[in-house]
Amino acid sequence: MGLVQKLLTDPRIEALVKPELAVRSLLMRSRSASFATRLFWDGFDRPAYAYGVYQAAMQARMLGIGAISVAELGVASGDGLVALERIAGEVEDVTGTEIAVYGFDTGTGMPPPRDNRDLPYAWRESFYGMDEAALRARLRRSELVIGDVAETAPAFAAADRPPLGWAAVDVDYHSSTVATFPIFDADESRLLPRTLLHFDDVIGDERELHSPFAGQLAAIEGFNRSREQRKLAKVHALRHKRIVDAPWHDQLFVLHCFDHSRYGDYVYDAERELPA
């Protein structure tokens, strides 16, 4: 590969074309930038986690709910869960909302695929193994729930804990994603009126080729088809509100619980009137 070709395919060159990426990268390494500044510029290694957990904690605060749960469904070696713990601590500090952190995984990597909707051309049994002891040693505050989500999700849905405000759904398969849905069918006391969700496996690389007929997108479509009062929907035009364009804008969904008794409760400080 020639020098020019090498330069042009270096990911760092992107920061020259899109200066906001250079700002983001500086803020990711900053020790002094505020949470608000980093949130604005996506200055986190998991900006979707920071955005979602913060929005959930703010929703809870405006509703007078003192504590929420957040969860990573699909943990693997644990980098996401460790990042989530860090973000939860920062969000607690800036919002005053207490946050209980949970992580769910088989502990032994991907189970066998059920059928072609699990996209076995992209994922295989036992991918993403976990060294459970090593991960537990890294964790500071999470509850790690080991087992198939087909068994652990119904138990979590019914468990006595703060309402779920945010979750990363990162179990890859269609079948595993469907198995998490009891959490979203839970009693309203276990959910915020609008729980924010990050569905990781709706984009992927060029060979994953996601469509609404398989994988997580099909699971989401199936959820919406079979429920009247609960719907999973992307935040319309989210990217217009963000300074750094990023794939997570298309991975962020909200579970709207239209049957939640607090769905219509006002979530702003003051009246939203236009200036006279």
Ligand X SMILES: C[S@@+](CC[C@H](N)C(=O)[O-])C[C@H]1O[C@@H](n2cnc3c(N)ncnc32)[C@H](O)[C@@H]1O
Name the minimum Å distance from CB 79 to ligand X: 4
- Alpha-carbon gap, residue 240 to 221, rounded angstroms: 25
Number of chain residues interacting with ligand X (CB under 6 A)? 23
Joined tokens for residue 13: 């060159």
Q: Is 162 in the site for ligand X (CB under 6 A)?
A: no
Name the minimum Å distance from CB 41 to ligand X: 21
Which CB sits closer to ligand X, 171 or 186? 171
Which CB sits closer to ligand X, 164 or 257? 164
- Alpha-carbon gap, residue 186 to 163, rounded angstroms: 10
Residue identified by tokens 């991960």 is 135
With H, G, I as helix, E, B as strand and everything else as coil, classify residue 256. Answer: strand
Single out the segment in contact with ligand X by CB under 6 A; choices: 15-23, 104-112, 205-213, 245-253: 104-112
Single out the segment in contact with ligand X by CB under 6 A; choices: 19-27, 173-181, 210-218, 246-254: 173-181
Single out the segment in contact with ligand X by CB under 6 A; choices: 57-65, 108-116, 210-218, 242-250: 108-116
Joined tokens for residue 237: 């035009």
Among 195, 118, 112, 117, smallest CA distance to 148 is for 112
Ramachandran bin of 14, using left for φ above 0, alpha for ψ from -120 to 50, beta for the remaining angles: alpha
Residue identified by tokens 């997108």 is 217
Name the minimum Å distance from CB 170 to ligand X: 4
Residue identified by tokens 């990426």 is 21
Q: Is 118 in the site for ligand X (CB under 6 A)?
A: no
- Alpha-carbon gap, residue 83 to 187, rounded angstroms: 28
Binder among 41, 51, 128, 156 for ligand X (CB under 6 A): 128
Which CB sits closer to ligand X, 90 or 170? 170
Beta-bridge partner residues of 67: 98
Binder among 43, 47, 52, 111 for ligand X (CB under 6 A): 111
- Alpha-carbon gap, residue 209 to 218, rounded angstroms: 13
Residues 31 to 90: which contact ligand X by CB under 6 A? 72, 74-76, 79-80
- Alpha-carbon gap, residue 11 to 241, rounded angstroms: 25
Name the minimum Å distance from CB 198 to ligand X: 9
Which CB sits closer to ligand X, 60 or 183? 183
Which CB sits closer to ligand X, 95 or 216? 216
Backbone angles phi, psi at 231, to 5 degrees: -135, 140
Rule CB under 6 A: which residues touch ligand X? 72, 74-76, 79-80, 104-106, 109-111, 128, 148-150, 168, 170-173, 176, 179
